[in-house]
Amino acid sequence: MKTYRIAVIPGDGIGKELAPEGMRVLDAAARAAGGFSLEYEIFPWGCDYYVQHGMMMPEDGLKTLSTFAAIYFGAVGYPELVPDDVSLHGLLIKLRLGFDQYVCLRPSTLLPGVKSPLRGVKPGDIDFVTVRENTEGEYAGAGGRMHPGQPSELAIETAVFTRAGCERVIRYAFELARSRPRRMLAHATKSNAQKHTLTFWDQIFDEVARDYPDVKTERVLVDAMAARFVLKPGSLDVVVASNLFGDILTDIGGAITGSLGLSASGNIDPERRYPSMFEPVHGSAPDIAGKGIANPIAMAWSGAMMLDFLGEKRAGALIEAAIRAVTAEGTTLTPDLGGTATTTQVTDALVAKVNGLAKA
């Protein structure tokens, strides 16, 4: 039987509560689908680790993780303990960049039984995927602060767009669009104001598009794209965006599909040179941490994406079907979806559905 070694980094806040729940759902799916098992190693890296060791993970953290089949990540950040730029650049962003996980896949799907805050929108009406560039742009760490305390004090954050970096993620998005029935790809730009980086992005998009005459393309300014997410989400199929634009847009994607607690993501190295990493779109939610009410669905769904990526399609599909069955039923939902269930109760319901669906 095949065994996949999974590195689990629960992180901070609700990440610590959700990682074990996600593992319960993953194990249920592995048992139900059969033919493989998951072997976890848990790494207690995050803000508590920083307080003890002065760093978010050990110096050789990347080397340690490099031998795993995948990374299952909760959430990181606890601004009361550690400044956010330190904690995020010390762990999450370091892993995305260090493992060259240049594709961040973020589906926005309105699930059955879930109410969108948008008027007149029903399940089936929202079903698109954002492909977010995940290694460069405004996240490259290029820039600095100068002249502290002087009247001339300034800060610069330089967006880095390389030809290779743009081309590979845009090509990935075209391939994804081609594999979907509607074959549509919209790209978010801001070349009306950002005259170096985003004109470069537009140019590369148009060049790559020549290889995909069967895909219908659209150039949308990112501010208009934000409105489009809200006003006409049904008109979107695949969206490709640079790092910061993709970050902002996908929180809107979570909001219009009912809750950030439902939004899953994969940080992927399509060439499989390094482990890919699967995590909810949401953060550590200090406002609800420790209350046992965080929605475990985004974590479970990220696990489904991980199984799918590992080639365990049936197990991944079982988790997705279980999620749909739980939301459709509507009796076991956390407060973000208007319910009164706890994190554990929703996980129990997911596990029961995985088992039931496998027998059906």
Q: Which residues of the shown chain bind ligand NAD in the complex (CB under 6 A)?
A: 14, 75-77, 79, 84, 88, 92, 260-261, 279, 282-288, 294-295, 298, 334, 336
> Of 225 and 288, which has the nearer Cβ to ligand NAD?
288
CA end-to-end span of the chain, whole Å? 24
> Of 241 and 326, which has the nearer Cβ to ligand IPM?
241
In this chain, which of 241, 262, 281, 289 binds ligand IPM, going by CB under 6 A? Answer: 281
> Of 130 and 197, which has the nearer Cβ to ligand IPM?
130
What is the C-alpha to C-alpha distance for residues 139 and 36, in angstroms, rounded to an integer? 37
Please give the biggest Cα pair distance in the chain: 70
> Of 312 and 336, which has the nearer Cβ to ligand IPM?
336
277 binding ligand IPM? (CB under 6 A): no
**Segment 244 to 303, residues that bind Mn ion, using CB under 5 A:** 247
Pick one of ligand IPM, ligand NAD, Mn ion, none as the site partner of residue 260 (Cβ within 5 to 8 A by kind). ligand NAD
The one segment of 18-26, 87-95, 311-319, 344-352 that binds ligand IPM by CB under 6 A: 87-95
136 binding ligand IPM? (CB under 6 A): no
> Of 247 and 320, which has the nearer Cβ to Mn ion?
247
The one segment of 32-40, 85-93, 162-170, 211-219 that binds ligand IPM by CB under 6 A: 85-93
> Of 28 and 93, which has the nearer Cβ to ligand IPM?
93
> In Å, how far are 225, 266, 270 from 102, measured between CA atoms?
22, 10, 8
* Phi-psi sector, 133: left (phi>0), alpha (psi -120 to 50), beta: beta
Tell me the two tokens of residue 32. 């139900």
247 binding ligand IPM? (CB under 6 A): yes
Beta strand pairing status for 264-268 and 103-109?
Answer: antiparallel
Residue with tokens 């391939």: 175
Burial class from Cβ neighbours inside 10 Å (0-12, 13-18, 19+) for residue 257 reads: buried
**Segment 229 to 248, residues that bind Mn ion, using CB under 5 A:** 247
Q: Cβ 24 to ligand IPM, closest distance in Å?
A: 23
**Segment 64 to 83, residues that bind ligand IPM, using CB under 6 A:** 77
* Phi-psi sector, 172: left (phi>0), alpha (psi -120 to 50), beta: alpha
Q: Cβ 337 to ligand NAD, closest distance in Å?
A: 8
Q: Cβ 162 to ligand NAD, closest distance in Å?
A: 24
Q: Cα-flanking dihedrals φ and ψ of residue 158, to 5°?
A: -90, 130
What is the C-alpha to C-alpha distance for residues 97 and 93, in angstroms, rounded to an integer? 6
What is the C-alpha to C-alpha distance for residues 103 and 247, in angstroms, rounded to an integer? 12
88 binding ligand IPM? (CB under 6 A): yes
Beta-carbon contacts of 5 under 8 Å, excluding residues fewer than 6 positions away, are 39, 41, 67, 68, 69
Binding site for ligand IPM (CB under 6 A): 77, 88, 92-93, 247, 281, 283
- Can you give the binding site for Mn ion, defined by CB under 5 A? 247
